[in-house]
Amino acid sequence: MMNWLLIRGLGREKRHWGDFIKMLQQETDGDVLCLDIPGSGDFREMQSPVKIKGYILFLRDKLPKKQQWSICAISLGGMIALEWLSLYPDDFQNAVIINTSALDVGRWHNRLRFSILHNFIRTLLQKDAVKREEILLKITTNLQKDITQVAEKNAKIYKEKPITRKNIIRQLYAASKFRSPQNTIENLCFLSSKEDKLVNPKCSELLSQKYKKKHFQHLTAGHDLPLDDPKWIIETMKQCNFLKKR
């Protein structure tokens, strides 16, 4: 029985996985556990660590022991996962890393594209939750037919469990300082979005080359690949034999 741990990225929480949780649960005989990082979601009242290892130590304590686990993580969550795999390689059987980056791999400006920097700053300053989400979604998604509807849903999530600007900045700082570890596990693959407006997909490609692992690229989705095309992620996980083909 294989269980899956899901970790989201900067300023996001487990509810932002959307339909992907249900779809993954239908494809595995184990549990699907979504853990929020410190400073977000269930743990919004905590102070976000400024080092990636701080997130790992907190999350590892929440992971049920004596079970087989795999991990799927995106963006900042992917950085946490990569470091986790290096520090505690026996914790996970398989790993799927989506649209992530590292300071030591590729050029620094590929980690946060110049073209969206102005709008990214606007999200930090915008007080209206719906408008902020609309700006963010235009940066992170490409395939949403009704951005306003998704923005309203995300704004409701924010109002229920708001994340502070301070914690967003602390999470961003931790991400900016992340360097990819030397070692990882055998069953690892990287996923990226060719049309990612936030992070250059070259980052995932270079990481896959560093570790000599497979890299799969979606041709049209945005940075938030689980939101844009969760089915594609599931099918790619099957190609890697991380999920059983039906």
State the CATH number of the domain containing residue 19.
3.40.50.1820
Residue 124 has a pLDDT of: 79
Q: For residue 83, give its domain range.
A: 3-239
Domain assignment present for 193: yes
pLDDT in tens, 30-39: 999 999 999 9
- Between CA 142 and CA 173 the distance in angstroms is 26
Is 246 inside any structural domain?
no
- pLDDT greater than 60 at residue 246: no
Per-residue confidence band for 202, with pLDDT thresholds at 50, 70 and 90: very high
pLDDT at 33: 97
Distance CA 221, CA 226 (A): 9
| 98 occurs within a structural domain | yes
Per-residue pLDDT at 119: 78
Q: In this structure, how many other beta carbons lie within 10 angstroms of the beta carbon of residue 232?
A: 18
pTM: 0.96
* Helices 76-87 and 52-62, axial angle in degrees (round to 10): 70
Distance between CA 7 and CA 76 in Å, rounded? 9
Of 40-54, 112-126, 212-226, the one with minimum mean pLDDT is 112-126
Counting the structural domains of the chain, the total is 1
In a domain, 54, yes or no: yes
- Residue 244 inside a domain? The answer is no
Provide the pLDDT for residue 245.
Answer: 65
Residue 132 included in any domain: yes
**What pLDDT does residue 209 have?**
97
Q: Does residue 66 belong to any structural domain of this protein?
A: yes
